[in-house]
């Protein structure tokens, strides 16, 4: 595990330290996903952590859960056409939790200037097209691309966005330029069936419902920590949103407390959804 991070996921050596050199508290996360155990050991330093610092943990949990779900589908003879390089769903609206939006902005701005400037310009082009069209009433006046009730109303917003026919600003020459740090909504989106159906051709494709979605978990965690309503941010507007929320990016909480509450939220969601459901699209 990296020793310069306040929150780490890995082998779970009890002597792991945080950036201040203090020993980290090890917090376990055990889940039953489709009858299989998912276990992680999380190192939480004795210092403070920001919202962005919890994102790598959510990504690790997401990978563990989706691996189990996909393995279950394939073992039953199902076909998952989703793979790196497929861009069939890259024109859909992607929601980010507040921690993700802050972490994505940091990651992009840490890139060489030539790279982040290209990404910023691409986001600007898409953002301008978004702002030229009126979004659903719940988004009217929301210049940041968020809404207090956006988690519940996202289907309506997503339908509006699809009609804009916009490509993802991070999709370039047939590839995702942020694939290793792609949003949780992208990591959790899979279909069972035919890849042709995703492109509007013959065949059928069914959306795989992951039993525990990290997007929801992070949105709830951020809401509780900040004392706000749950928020999501439109991916194309994330960089601009982050620029207007610098103070939120700097705010910190005890790392161990953040991890413990995140674990509790994930377990609570898992207890409500003990099986993955596949629905027709």
Q: What is the pLDDT of residues 41-78, one digit of tens each?
A: 999 998 999 999 999 999 999 999 999 999 998 898 88
The Cα 11–Cα 29 span in angstroms is 13
The Cα 151–Cα 148 span in angstroms is 8
pTM (two decimals):
0.84
Place 206 in a pLDDT band, splitting at 50, 70 and 90: confident
The Cα 196–Cα 193 span in angstroms is 9
Place 132 in a pLDDT band, splitting at 50, 70 and 90: confident
Strand bridging mode 205-209 / 95-97: unpaired
At residue 196, the pLDDT reads: 66
The Cα 268–Cα 58 span in angstroms is 15
DSSP H or E run through 226: helix 214-226
For the residues 206-225, what does the mean pLDDT come to? 92
Under 8 Å CB-to-CB from 113, ≥6 apart: which residues?
A: none
Q: What is the pLDDT of residues 261-279, one digit of tens each?
A: 999 999 999 988 764 333 3
């Amino acid at each position: 595990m990296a020793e310069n991070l306040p929150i780490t996921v890995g082998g779970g050596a009890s002597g792991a330290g945080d950036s201040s050199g203090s020993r980290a508290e090890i917090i376990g996360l055990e889940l039953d996903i489709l009858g299989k155990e998912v276990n992680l050991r999380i190192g939480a330093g004795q210092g403070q952590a920001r919202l962005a610092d919890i994102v790598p943990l959510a990504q690790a949990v997401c990978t563990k859960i989706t691996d189990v779900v996909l393995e279950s589908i394939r073992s039953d003879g199902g076909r998952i056409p989703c793979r790196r390089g497929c861009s069939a769903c890259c024109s859909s609206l992607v929601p980010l939790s507040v921690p993700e939006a802050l972490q994505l902005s940091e990651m992009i701005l840490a890139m060489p200037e030539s790279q982040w400037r290209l990404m910023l310009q691409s986001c600007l082009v898409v953002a301008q097209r978004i702002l030229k069209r009126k979004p659903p009433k719940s988004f009217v006046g929301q210049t940041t691309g968020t809404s207090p009730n956006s988690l519940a109303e996202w289907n309506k917003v997503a339908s509006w966005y699809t009609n804009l026919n916009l490509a993802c600003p991070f999709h370039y020459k047939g590839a995702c330029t942020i694939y290793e740090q792609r949003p949780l909504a992208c990591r959790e989106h899979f279909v069972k069936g035919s890849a042709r159906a995703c492109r509007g051709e013959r065949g059928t494709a069914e959306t795989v419902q992951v039993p525990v979605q990290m997007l929801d978990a992070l949105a709830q965690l951020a809401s509780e920590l900040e004392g706000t309503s749950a928020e999501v941010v439109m991916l194309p507007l994330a960089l601009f949103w982050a620029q207007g929320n610098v103070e939120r990016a700097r705010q910190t909480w005890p790392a161990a407390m953040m991890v413990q509450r995140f674990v509790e939220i994930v377990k609570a969601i898992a207890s409500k959804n003990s099986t993955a459901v596949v629905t027709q699209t």
